[in-house]
Chain A
Amino acid sequence: MPEPKVVLFLAAFLFCCGVYGVLSRRHLIMILMSLELMLNAINIMLVTFSRHWAGKNHDMLGAHAGQFFTLMVMAVAAAEVGIGLAIIVALYRRKHTADADAATDLKN
C-alpha cells in the first residue's frame, strides 16, 4: 500500500497544476481541461480518505462515502463539461474564437 501522505501530495500537485492551467491559459477549452484536472485531484483525495477511514472503522456506509462522493463529482464534472463545451461552441459561433478575452459583451 502507498502511504496516505504521498497520495495526498499527488492530489495536491495535480490540483496545483490545474490551478496553474486555469490561471495561465486563455483558450476556454484549456481552462475547462485544467478544471477537470482539479476535480480529478479532488477525486484522488476523496478516495484516499475513504481508504483511510476503511482502515480505522469497519462500517460499509462510512468507508464508501468517499467513493460515493467521487462518483458524484464525476457526474457533476460530466454535466459541467457538457454545459461548458456548449457555451464554448455558442461563443465560437458568434465570435469565431474560443479565447476567453473575446467574451466581453457584458463589459461596460
Chain B
Amino acid sequence: MIVVFWVSFIVALVGSALLITQKHAVYALLGLLIAFGASAGVFLSLDAPFIAVSQILIYAGALAVMFLFVLMFTDTRTDEDTGLPGAVGSRAVFDPATGRPAKKKKKKKADEEAKPSPFSGLVMPKPMAVAVSLALLVCFTAAIVTLPSGFNRFGPLPSAYDGINFEGVERSADQIKSDPNLLPFGSTEAVSRTIFEGFPLAFEVVSLLIFAAVLGAVLLARRHLVGIPGTQDVAKESGHA
C-alpha cells in the first residue's frame, strides 16, 4: 500500500503540474485525468476502495469526457500566449461593439520560422498567481506541520476477525456478524449503510440537485429558447436560422 501511495503521490504532482503549465487545453485535460487517476490510487492506499472506484467512474470517466466534448465544441485557441484573440496584453482585440474577437492578426513570418523551443507548449507563469498560490501552500503546510502528534500515523482499523471490539470486550460470533461497526472499513456495504442509515436526507437532496442541474444544463445549452420570454433566439441573431 505504501508503494501505491508514493507512486500515486508522484503521479498526482506530475498531473497537476501538467494541468497548470500546458498551454493546449487538451494536454491540460490529460494532466487533469492523470491527477484524478492518481487520486484514485491515493484513495486505495487510504483503505477507501469504493471512493477510488467512484473517483474513476465519475471524475475520470464522466467529467473528463464532458470536458473533452466541450473542448471539441468550442475554440481552444483563445487561451493566453497563443498569439490569437485573448492573448495576454492584447485586451483590445475584443470589438467593444459586438463583444466578439476582432479579426485575427496575421502571424509574423519570423514567428512561423522560429525554431519551436521546448517550452513553447507551456504557459508563462503569472507572478501574482504564483505568489498567491505559493502563500496558500506555505500556510497549508504550516498548518499541517503543526498538527498534533495524533496525526503522525493512522490508527489500526477495526477487524471482525479478532472478535474483540475497540473497548476490548469479547463478543460472540453472532454479535460480530450483526455489528455494523465491524464492517470492513471503506467497503461498499459500510459506505452504503452510512449513506442510507446516517444521511438519507442529504442523499435525497443531492438527487434533487442533480435533477435541477440537468434541467439547467439542457436549458442553457439549447440553441432555440422557443416560447421563453426574455431570451433571445441565438440562431436567428447569428444568421443561421
Contacts and interface: CB of A to CB of B under 8 A. Distances in A.
A82 B16 contact: no
Contacts of B63: 36, 77-78, 81
A76 B209 CA distance: 8
Interface of A is mostly: helix
B33 to A, nearest CB: 10
Interface in A1-55: 1-10, 12-21, 23-27, 29-30, 32-34, 36-37, 40, 43-44, 47-48, 50-52, 54-55
A83 B216 contact: yes
Interface in A86-108: 86-90, 92-99, 101-102, 104-105
A24 B218 CA distance: 30
Contacts of A2: 1-2, 5-6, 9, 45-46
A36 B145 contact: no
B27 to A, nearest CB: 11
B62 A78 contact: yes
A79 to B, nearest CB: 3
Interface residues of A, number: 84
Nearest to B71: A29
Interface in B52-85: 54-55, 58-59, 62-63, 66-67, 70-71, 73-76, 78-80, 85
A37 B94 contact: no
Interface in B123-158: 123, 125-126, 128-130, 132-134, 136-137, 140-141, 144-145, 147, 150-158
B187 to A, nearest CB: 9
Contacts of A80: 213
Given A19-B133, A92-B73, A3 B99 contact: no
Interface of B: 1-2, 5-6, 9, 12-13, 16-17, 19-20, 25, 28-29, 32, 35-36, 39, 42-43, 45-48, 50-51, 54-55, 58-59, 62-63, 66-67, 70-71, 73-76, 78-80, 85-86, 88, 91, 94, 99-101, 123, 125-126, 128-130, 132-134, 136-137, 140-141, 144-145, 147, 150-158, 165-166, 180-183, 185-186, 190-191, 193-195, 197-199, 202, 206, 209-210, 212-214, 216-221, 223, 234, 238
Interface of A: 1-10, 12-21, 23-27, 29-30, 32-34, 36-37, 40, 43-44, 47-48, 50-52, 54-61, 63-65, 67-68, 70-72, 74-83, 85-90, 92-99, 101-102, 104-105
11 contacts: A4-B153, A6-B9, A10-B12, A24-B125, A26-B86, A27-B86, A52-B150, A65-B198, A67-B191, A82-B213, A85-B67
